[in-house]
Amino acid sequence: MTVPGVSGGSMAMITGIYDRLITSVSSFFRRPKECTIFLLQFLAGAAVGMVLFARLISTLFTTAADIPVRFFFLGAVAGGVPMIYKESGLKRLDYKVVLYPVIGILLVAGLSLLPAGLFGPQDGGGIAGALMQIVGGVIIAIGLVLPGISVSQMLYMLGIYEGIMNNISSLNVVPLIPLGIGVVGGIFLTTRVLENLMKRHPQSTYLIILGFMFGSLPELFPGIPGGITLVFSIISALLGFFAIYFMSLKESGMQA
C-alpha cells in the first residue's frame, strides 16, 4: 500500500511466497499449528518492513529520487515474471501466454473505469448499511488477496470509501464491525477459491494474476525521464529486476 501500483499481493507473488501464503490462510482450520507459524512469521516480517521502510519510501516519493524509485519497483515486478511463468506450468509458448494476461489487464482496467459511487452513497445506518459494510469488507479482502487490485478504487465504486475513512480516522469502531466481518470472511473465501484454481487450473490462474499485476503498473509508471535521471532510472530498474530475479531463484532452490 505504500507504493502506488504495487500491492501487497503483488510483492508476495514476485518474491515467491504467494502460493504458500494463500494455502496457509485457506488451510488454517485444517492445519492450524503449521499455518499459524508461517502466518506469524509473515506478519512479523511485514510489520518490520512497514516500520523500517514505509516512511523512507514515502519520503523518497516526495524527493528527486521519486522517478528512480518507481523504476526500481517496475524492475522488481519484471524480475518476478519468470518465476510466475514457471509456476503456471506452461511448457511452451502459445496463445495462452497472451490471452490470459490480457484478460487480467482488461479486468483491472475495467475496474478503474467504473464511476465512483456506482452502488450509491451509503449512510451506514440500518440493515442495508450494515450489509453494504459487509460487502465492502469482502471487496477489501479480494483487493488484499489478489495482486494488482486497487482496494480504494473498489470502495469508491461501492460508494462507501469516505464513510469507512471517516470512521477509521475518528476511531468510531462500532460501525466498522460489519466491515471487519466482511474482511475476515472474504479473506478465507477468496483464498479458498484461489487455492482451488491454482491447483486445478494453474496455467490460466497464474497468467491472469500476471495480467492483474501488469494492469496496475500504469499507476506506478512516471513516464520516460530525461538527462541524468534516465541513467539512474535504468540502473534502478536493473537493480530491482535482478534483486527479485535472484531472490526467486533462491526461493525455487529452497523448495526443490
Average pLDDT, the chain: 78
Q: Supply the pLDDT for residue 7.
A: 62
What are the tens digits of pLDDT across the range 191-242?
888 888 888 888 898 889 888 888 877 877 888 998 899 999 999 999 989 9
Q: How far is CA 188 from CA 19, 40, 148, 205, 215, in A?
A: 14, 16, 19, 18, 25
What are the tens digits of pLDDT across the range 71-116?
988 888 888 888 777 777 777 777 888 899 999 889 878 776 766 5
Amino acid, res. 95: Y
Grade residue 179 by pLDDT with cuts at 50, 70 and 90.
confident
Residues 6+ apart with CB under 8 A from 215: 104, 105, 106, 107, 108, 109, 148
Coil, strand, or helix at residue 101? helix
Lowest-confidence range among 17-21, 157-161, 217-221? Answer: 157-161
pLDDT exceeds 90 at position 48: no
Grade residue 256 by pLDDT with cuts at 50, 70 and 90.
very low
Q: Supply the pLDDT for residue 230.
A: 94
Specify whether the CB–CB gap between 10 and 216 falls below 8 A: yes
pTM above 0.85, yes or no: no
Element (H, E) at 214: helix 202-216
Hey, how many other C-beta atoms are within 10 angstroms of the C-beta on 145?
25
Find cell 501466454 and name the residue.
97
Residues 6+ apart with CB under 8 A from 100: 203, 204, 207, 208, 210, 211
